[in-house]
Structure 1
Amino acid sequence: MGEVRKLQKKLRQIENLEIKISLTPEERVKISRKAELRSRLAELQLQLSGPQQTQGIVGDEKKEKMKRQVEDAPGAPPSQTPPASKILKGEEESKAQATPAPAARQRQTHEETEMGRQKERTEPAKVSDHSRDKSGACPDLDKEQQLQQEERKFTSLKASWEKSKFRLRLLEGHNDIVTCVAAVDNLVISGSRDTTVKVWHVPTAAEHKNLGGHTGGVTCLSAPPPEYCKRLAWSLSLFDKERFILSGSADCYVKIWALSIGQCVKSIYTFNAVTALCFVPEDDGYIITGSDGGKVQAWSWDTFENCQSINAHEEAVTSIQSQGPLVFSGSADGGVSVWENRCLNRDPLRLLHHWSGQVTGCRGGRLTLSPRGDRVILAFGQAWLKILHWRTGTTSRLTNHSSITGVTDCVHQTGGLLIGSCYDLANGDSMLNLFSLPQCQYLASLTWPEAPRILCLAAWMTGSGDHRWVTGGCSLIVWEQLPTSGKQRGDIIVKRDSRLVSCVLESEEDTEDDDETDEYKDDEDDTNQPGDGQSDGRMEDGGSGSWLRCVLQ
């Protein structure tokens, strides 16, 4: 058991080393051992499997609740929840025994019809006596009908996703890891560790522009809305319909690019490596940036001057998102801050709430976030997603992988769909898990042979209502949804993980086991190597928390 956990730890470190900005010779040697370690882990898991549970996958008793989520769900005690195979078998036996002869079936049908009529005559009076309120409504009945309607809607949605088809298009041009992606009209914009920003034409999957100008790895992108682009275009004497993209880099610059001409029209020096940014479309507009030192800064869209600098987090800011007048920032230390934009020329951001990593349970990992109403969905490199109710500080957990060797790098919401990336450190399998919102019910998983690890994701809907996504990491891929009725075959495999089907959104009573897989001490030959992260929590993820994030529109 101890060796299994140690191998999982080493594989996690190796995967995080691979996405660092730069590597030392010692770190390259570690990466070269990945195949060997995976083979050894698979061998140990095979030995531990059999009549007993594979503890190398599931973990100790603290991890058992991940396998008992159905049993822990309200109204489903363990003793009353038989396995699915037994349910199906019991149903088949009961149907075989209860099949009447034709004459008997007619009499039975007649008796059931009469009973149904009597029930219809008696039940309304019963409901009116006990369930009607003063206005004559039936709240219990309305609630039940609403639940039935939601269940039918979910069943239909699940069936449609099980039949979904996507065409994948590989966009080739970057010579290093793609760290961030965004979408503008029919264009996809990608930023890479190779210091470039590239613009791609989606219908043709062709490179449209190569925007070179940064001297450090590009870490984040953001696209201002058209009305704010129009104002800037007018001030620069450019075409009214010009679109712009913002890019942040480890070289401490935020650059503003005009997409049609492929030129940088403005550079902002921030004095710190930029690790996250977003555009806030309120009042005159603001650019909000986060740095590797935990600083959050606001910049005027009109003057591009600094309006505010706040030492908001103890470690690197890994994600910044806006929702109306609210701004959400997440840090590598697991902290989440909620800010209100007061639309002032000076100090526009006012802190509303701050929740530490002890509250969120997201300590020791790169944090990406996606706000939705009073909830913020957090991904932090574990086998589950966290949901923070930011007004109260309460959290819940949604399983995103059936094994604790799985990691979640990014999360995104589009319409009523929640998309979470999923990568298995043990075998290299990668996929996207889909959940319906707001209940967060599991729909399906999408993957394809030799799928790469997905580090960033953007999703949007076309004018015809189809989904279009772009994922980045070792490969940059555009996903185009195809009509299910068409004859064209899709490139992805749709499956449903039975171990995720039964998962429910569970409240967090304690989170002491969230980072348990990273607690033990590594081998002596590893603890003193650069980038291992044994002495510095910020380096736990190979230093990637200071520059890598997912852009979520």
Structure 2
Amino acid sequence: MGEVRKLQKKLRQIENLEIRVSLTPEERVKVSKKAELRSRLAELLLQLSGPQQTQCIVGEQEDKMKRQVEDVTEHRTGPTPAVKIPRVDDQKKGERERSSGQTHNIPDRPSPPDPDSEFRSLKASWETAKFRLRVLEGHSDIITCVAAVDNLVISGSRDTTVKVWHVPTATEQRNLGGHSGGVTCLSVPPAEYCRRLASALRLGEKERLVLSGSTDCCVRMWTLSSGQCVKSIYTFNAVTSLCFIAEGEGYIATGSDGGKLQVWDWLSQENRQSVNAHLDAVTALQSQGPLVFSGSADGSMCVWEARDGGPEPLRRLQSWGSEVTGCGGGEEVGGRLRLSARGDRIFLACGRASIRVLNWRTGTVSRLTNHSSTAGVTDCVNQIPGVLIGSCFDLTTGESSLNLFSLPQSRYLVSLTCSELPRILCFAAWLTPSGGHRWVTGGRDLTVWEQLQGNVKKRGDVTVRRDNRLDNTLTESDKEEEEEQSDAEEEEEEDSIPQDASDTEAAANSSWLRCALQ
């Protein structure tokens, strides 16, 4: 297992190197060895698996057969009817009525919904889902952030541009050039706040605006109709994340590469608050009603309350360090943390094989299995109604997929993948007027996922499969994963040789975020 872990660590470093803007000659040599390392790793895993473990490998044929068996069983037996168990008082009352000859028709109480039945129904609907994939070509570098408005997709890239795409025709509508550094984040304010600012700027009443943040220390406001930059905020810090706070007159929150959190007035663009929230880059910001969640590359998390009318719009409610969240070791796992909040729970993606689930009110953390081994990488996490979606990239095979979990139970549903799907670094989702799902993913490619509605005979571009090893999802401890990773690091240090001496330096420089800031 020692050599397997070493190879997995090398592949992790190489994958993080490939996301960089530029590579040194030594780094290019390392990247060129990726296929050789993957081949060697596949041989070792095959030797270690042995014939006794081949039944654990989940393939399309096996999944199909299992689904057929499950469907036949459910069809024959049918759902188990709910049995009403009367209370003792009701039994005695019934006996008295029967003995006295007085009987009444007592209506049955409605039985509560069966969560297992709801889960099976949701799982069955996703097992038959079909998607069409379309790649939108136009960016010359990695897509770092995506957003969606109606039939439009907005994408930001390290090539310094923001592009607006018309999804039904898969065409580029606008190329918003103005940033001098890589674009790191996007946010689309609600329509009512756009109308207020549009009125102040004497724009059209129905104008929609989009915000973009960049390593050039600027936040720019663009009109989607014309692509005009109507406002620009200079933050004095490289912007690594932003979100819109829909409280009062509205605020813009920005996170910097140094851990600073700043709040700006929506209408006047004046700075209302600056606070050193984290010790490293703020890589995630999300608002949810009056709450704002911030996450950092150092693995720490903060929860803020938005207060309109006070001297400082944000008040810190809770803060948790990496020793609680389990998202430490930033450089080793790519230096990125992404989050998706739901009520008391925050789902965290930090470049590991699992999704951390933090209850920010109690400080308890559980681990949601997003890959069947520690060779998986989770880059982003998002939610659609009733479903949690986590990206998964396999370091061993180079395959990428989206794993779906039911909410609020966090039970594994299915995995969606495609043979040529690249590593997914960002994700956005919305519903079509007909109720179908439409998603967009970004990384090396910008890809639109469109669900095919009805009984369409056309075969989809996406393979739907189930990995039964993800069924036991929530665990209270991530000690095993941390021990495996620490063991791999120790073995790598003990067995270091001259040609690998630069691996440590590569790992230290492999952060996607730090490279974007150079």
- Is the TM value for this pair above 0.5? yes
Partners of 2:89 and 2:115 lie apart in 1 by 23
Match of 1:259 among 205, 224, 230: 224
1:201 corresponds to 2:171 = no
- SS, match of residue 124 in structure 1: coil
2:499 is matched with 525
2:23 is matched with 23
> When the two structures are superposed, what TM-score results if normalisation uses the length of structure 1?
0.80
Q: Encode CA deviations 1:29-55: one digit per residue, 9 max, x unaligned.
A: 22222111111111222222216779x
1:507 is matched with 476
1:32 is matched with 32
1:451 corresponds to 2:421 = yes
**Which ranges of 4 or more aligned residues in structure 1 deviate by more than 3 Å?**
51-54, 123-130, 509-518, 521-531, 545-549
2:512 is matched with 544
Quick one: higher RCO (CA 8 Å, sep 6+), 1 or 2? 1
- SS, match of residue 442 in structure 1: strand
Deviation at 1:346, TM superposition (A): 3.3
Aligned residue identity for 1:477: T
2:9 is matched with 9
Partners of 1:211 and 1:40 lie apart in 2 by 45
8 Å Cα contact 2:182-2:516 kept in structure 1 = no
8 Å Cα contact 1:41-1:426 kept in structure 2 = yes
2:327 is matched with 362
Partners of 2:293 and 2:516 lie apart in 1 by 17
Deviation at 1:236, TM superposition (A): 1.5
Q: Encode CA deviations 1:323-377: one digit per residue, 9 max, x unaligned.
A: 0011100011110000111113632111100000000111123210001001000
- Greater displacement, 192-201 / 506-515: 506-515
Aligned ranges 1:54-133 → 2 under 5 Å: 124=86, 126=88, 128=90
2:252 is matched with 287
1:482 corresponds to 2:452 = yes
Deviation at 1:445, TM superposition (A): 0.7
The CA RMSD over aligned residues, in Å, is 2.9
8 Å Cα contact 1:363-1:515 kept in structure 2 = no
Partners of 1:181 and 1:370 lie apart in 2 by 15
1:406 corresponds to 2:376 = yes
8 Å Cα contact 2:305-2:315 kept in structure 1 = yes
- SS, match of residue 358 in structure 2: strand
> Unmatched 5+ residue regions in structure 2?
58-64, 93-107, 331-335
8 Å Cα contact 1:387-1:397 kept in structure 2 = yes
1:188 is matched with 153
Partners of 2:387 and 2:147 lie apart in 1 by 18
1:138 is matched with none
- SS, match of residue 408 in structure 2: coil
2:103 is matched with none
Partners of 2:159 and 2:227 lie apart in 1 by 18
Match of 2:350 among 375, 380, 400: 380
Identity %: 62
Aligned ranges 1:410-449 → 2 under 5 Å: 410-449=380-419
Partners of 1:294 and 1:238 lie apart in 2 by 35
Deviation at 1:519, TM superposition (A): 2.8
- SS, match of residue 86 in structure 2: helix
Q: Encode CA deviations 1:398-422: one digit per residue, 9 max, x unaligned.
A: 1011121011100100111111101
Partners of 1:474 and 1:509 lie apart in 2 by 30
1:236 corresponds to 2:201 = yes
Deviation at 1:235, TM superposition (A): 1.6
- SS, match of residue 533 in structure 1: helix
1:516 corresponds to 2:481 = no
> Unmatched 5+ residue regions in structure 1?
59-83, 96-115, 131-140
1:469 is matched with 439
Partners of 1:51 and 1:185 lie apart in 2 by 51
Aligned residue identity for 1:415: P
Deviation at 1:142, TM superposition (A): 8.5
Q: Encode CA deviations 1:167-211: one digit per residue, 9 max, x unaligned.
A: 111101111111110001110000111111100001111001001
Partners of 1:317 and 1:165 lie apart in 2 by 36
Aligned residue identity for 2:10: K
> When the two structures are superposed, what TM-score results if normalisation uses the length of structure 2?
0.85
Aligned residue identity for 2:268: T
- SS, match of residue 519 in structure 1: helix
8 Å Cα contact 2:144-2:157 kept in structure 1 = yes
8 Å Cα contact 1:26-1:530 kept in structure 2 = no
8 Å Cα contact 2:252-2:263 kept in structure 1 = yes
Deviation at 1:517, TM superposition (A): 6.3
